[in-house]
Amino acid sequence: MQKTLTARTLHTGIGIIEYPVLSLSSDGTIVDISSDPKALANETTTLTATFLDVHMHGGRGHDVMTASPAELSDLQRYLAQRGVAHYLPTTVTASIETTLRALESLANAIERATGEGEAQPIGIHLEGPFLSHTKRGVHPAELLLPPSIELFDRFYAAARGHIKLMTIAPEVGAAIELITHARKMGVRLSLGHSNATAAETLAALDAGATSATHTFNAMRALDHREPGILGVVLDEDRLYAELICDGVHVAPPLIRLWLKAKGLDKAILVTDAMSAAGMPDGDYMLGPLTATIANGRALLKDDLLQGKETLAGSILTLEKAVANLQRFTGVTVGDAARLASHNPAAMLGRPELTELAQGSLANLNRFDGEGNLIATYLRGKQV
């Protein structure tokens, strides 16, 4: 028995369909997309592809590095309720043994069948340990390691090939060699937690780097004579660029600058969410670290006790990032949603994850006339 979904507009990633009528099969795929202006004259909602978060550490009190299968299912239901159909569970720098155990556990999660109404993990984002000491953020200094092909291969084997994205500082040790090696294995490389010069960043780009991790945060500051990594990230059309659009990590004028520089095709919204997302204020874990949540910010507890404030990820959700981008920049809901769906999928080389066409899965987000998420459909079923 076929089902239909309708809206005022449908944003497909390659164009906009006015007054769409989507016919869905019983297995949740799109059979046909047509248009009926007369019947839908009073429709005011917008349909887009569901979100893909390529940088998130947890939520609902669960950290992806330590979560049990039941806890991951709970996290994945929470993500789906916020418009996310796919995500990359993201590690944080920890001991080698802890990281190996986490990678094996996450590989198990990726290979398990995902429950109904849950976001699906489609790969792992390895953030650390190959980062700069100068721009380490909350990553523990004593656990950072120089880039090593041998160690990366151990991580890759433990993850059974499911590492799909890795953050690396291009100026550290043998980073360029590792970027070349990992790229040949199908891993996308994101430049971040870095104090790299412009030349060092360009060398990484030439070696195969694809993206930049949480642009502006944990990056060498922009200088008019030495643009550094940030200058290259903003200027280079070859690079995608993540951004945490919560108004805490990056001020709105710089969010607008980022969007002007990267455009609607190379800008990516991420959450960098930690386990406290969706939870009340208090203390929560980020890998081996403790973060204190208060006043909408996640701060490293050890630094707070010493009178310093160090951001420890975020408590952002992607539907809030999409709403914030509309508010901060004035873009349409369709364009804002693109940055959380089609762009990260394209960066990973997986455009089919957010495709909306005949034969695609009916994974859709519905927004009201003010650009707020009001419904999510996974395989045609409302979450």
- The CB-side HSE value for 171 (13 A sphere, CA atoms) comes to 18
Active-site residue identified among 272, 281, 283, 302: 272
Can you read off the two tokens belonging to residue 366? 């519905």
Residue pair 293/276 in contact by the 8 Å Cβ criterion: yes
Nearest residue to 286 via CA among 276, 296, 294: 276
Can you read off the two tokens belonging to residue 294? 């208060």
Residue pair 127/55 in contact by the 8 Å Cβ criterion: yes
Residue pair 285/291 in contact by the 8 Å Cβ criterion: yes
Cα(42)–Cα(38) distance, rounded to whole angstroms? 9
Residue pair 8/36 in contact by the 8 Å Cβ criterion: no
Cα(32)–Cα(362) distance, rounded to whole angstroms? 11
Q: Identify whether 272 is a catalytic site residue.
A: yes
Cα(103)–Cα(82) distance, rounded to whole angstroms? 25
Can you read off the two tokens belonging to residue 96? 């080698």
254-to-188, 257, 324, 336, 339 alpha-carbon distances in Å: 26, 5, 13, 16, 16
Residues tagged active-site: 272
